């Protein structure tokens, strides 16, 4: 029987399956473990089940040499130092595919909420300030015929493209390594800077990598047409939040809908007071069935490694050279 350290309570039945065959050592309910708590939890463990809020770095891996696999309950693995894991001979796994449709649905919810002023309208009604229908009241913009620009045409980006096309949008996309034949009527731009002036709504679906940190900065926000919208359900650090606030303040952007934040869970103080932003607490994959499927896949990864088998969704494989597959969402 191996010891599996788990940093959080998890939905679904995956943990029961794990506990039937291995000892599960779980961080108590509450806030995410500090670095010291994480090291104490992982000490002597054979496997580690982590969330995006758990920092798995070289120091942690060095302090826990018995860990053979880090199974992240997320598709993004930016919380794990992949090079350090590779050097330590540790598998790193993620949970792709099972969250694609839920995250794409939520992206459309953000897009619709910001362009149709849904959250602002909800606040008006709750405040008792709705005085009746008027033809010029609280007008937003329609999606039909507008251009959606997608940054990152991986699984989630393509699922968003399918939905946007069904809403009558034209889809432009930028991806430094686009999938061969995306099979969708999407106009690909090899240059992000060339795509930005062409879009009405920009939505981000790239992983957080050194090359994508603050990819959407003041200069690129200025390349968007006046009146454009920004949607971000990828990682907060892809957007320079201060530059976003400035672009909203000067009216260059018509609005933004964010599910993720640069210093999550902190939110830039310039955002919550604005009516032209929709702010969600990192809910992209938050459906019961999706979260249960993510946990199941993470547990399958752990069980496979502990049984000496190749895990179903590896990002880093012990002994491999070069980057893993964590560069696509």
Residue of 185, 242, 184 lying closest to 216 (CA atoms): 242
Compute the distance between CA of residue 217 and CA of residue 296 in angstroms, rounded to an integer: 37
Q: At its nearest, how many Å lie between ligand DGY and the CB of residue 34?
A: 20
Which residue from 7, 33, 70, 76 is in contact with ligand DGY, where contact means CB under 6 A?
76
Which residue from 14, 149, 152, 284 is in contact with ligand DGY, where contact means CB under 6 A?
284
Kindly give, in sequence order, each residue whose CB lies less than 8 Å from that of residue 204, ignoring residues fewer than 6 positions away.
151, 152, 215, 216, 230, 231, 232, 233, 234, 238, 239
**Cβ closer to ligand DGY: 228 or 278?**
278
Please report, in angstroms and rounded to a whole number, the separation of the first and last CA atoms in the chain: 33
51 burial class (0-12, 13-18, 19+ CB within 10 angstroms)? middle
**Cβ closer to ligand DGY: 247 or 256?**
256
- If binding is defined by CB under 6 A, does position 75 make contact with ligand DGY? yes
Do strands 201-204 and 228-232 pair parallel, antiparallel, or not at all (unpaired)? parallel
| Total residues binding ligand DGY (CB under 6 A) | 7
Kindly give, in sequence order, each residue whose CB lies less than 8 Å from that of residue 57, ignoring residues fewer than 6 positions away.
81, 84
Task: Find the part of the chain contacting ligand DGY (CB under 6 A) among 41-49, 70-78, 126-134, 237-245.
Answer: 70-78
**Cβ closer to ligand DGY: 99 or 113?**
99
Report residue 289 CA to chain centroid gap. 17
Which residue from 18, 64, 74, 298 is in contact with ligand DGY, where contact means CB under 6 A?
74
Q: Answer whether 171's CB lies under 8 Å from 165's CB.
A: yes
**Cβ closer to ligand DGY: 8 or 120?**
8
Task: Find the part of the chain contacting ligand DGY (CB under 6 A) among 68-76, 114-122, 149-157, 181-189.
Answer: 68-76
Per DSSP, 97 falls in state: S
- Compose the 14-53 pattern: x for residues touching ligand DGY by CB under 6 A, - for all others: --------------------------------------x-
* Touching ligand DGY, residues 128-167 (CB under 6 A): none
CA distances, 83 to each of 5, 170, 324 (Å) = 21, 39, 9
- If binding is defined by CB under 6 A, does position 232 make contact with ligand DGY? no
Catalytic residues: 235, 264, 282
Q: At its nearest, how many Å lie between ligand DGY and the CB of residue 97?
A: 11
Residues of this chain that bind ligand DGY (CB under 6 A): 52, 74-76, 99, 284-285
């Amino acid at each position: 029987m191996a010891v599996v350290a788990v940093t959080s309570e998890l939905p679904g039945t995956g943990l029961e399956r794990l506990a039937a065959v291995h000892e599960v050592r779980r961080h108590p309910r509450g806030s995410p473990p500090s670095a010291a708590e994480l090291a104490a939890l992982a000490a002597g463990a054979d496997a580690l089940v982590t969330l995006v809020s758990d920092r798995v770095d070289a120091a942690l891996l060095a302090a826990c040499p018995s860990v053979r696999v880090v199974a992240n309950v997320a598709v993004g693995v930016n919380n794990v130092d992949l090079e350090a894991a590779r050097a330590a001979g540790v598998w790193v796994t993620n949970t792709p595919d099972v969250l694609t449709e839920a995250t794409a649905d939520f992206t459309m919810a953000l897009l619709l909420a910001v362009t149709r002023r849904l959250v602002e309208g909800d606040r008006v009604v709750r405040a008792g300030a709705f005085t009746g229908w008027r033809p010029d009241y609280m007008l937003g913009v329609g999606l039909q015929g507008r251009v959606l620009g997608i940054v990152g045409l991986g699984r989630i980006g393509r699922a968003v493209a399918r939905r946007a096309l069904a809403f009558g949008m034209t889809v432009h996309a930028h991806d430094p390594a686009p999938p061969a034949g995306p099979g969708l009527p999407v106009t690909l731009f090899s240059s992000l800077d060339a795509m930005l002036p062409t879009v009405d709504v920009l939505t981000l679906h790239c992983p957080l990598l050194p090359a994508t940190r603050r990819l959407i900065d003041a200069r690129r926000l200025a390349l968007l047409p006046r009146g454009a919208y920004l949607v971000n359900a990828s990682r907060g650090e892809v957007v320079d939040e201060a530059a976003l606030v400035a672009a909203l303040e000067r009216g260059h952007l018509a609005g933004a809908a964010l599910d993720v934040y640069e210093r999550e869970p902190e939110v830039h103080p310039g955002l919550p007071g604005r009516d032209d932003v929709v702010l969600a607490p990192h809910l992209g994959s938050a459906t019961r069935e999706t979260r249960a499927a993510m946990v199941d896949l993470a547990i399958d990864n752990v069980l496979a490694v502990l049984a000496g088998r190749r895990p179903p969704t590896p990002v880093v494989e012990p002994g491999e050279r070069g980057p893993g597959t964590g560069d696509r969402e």
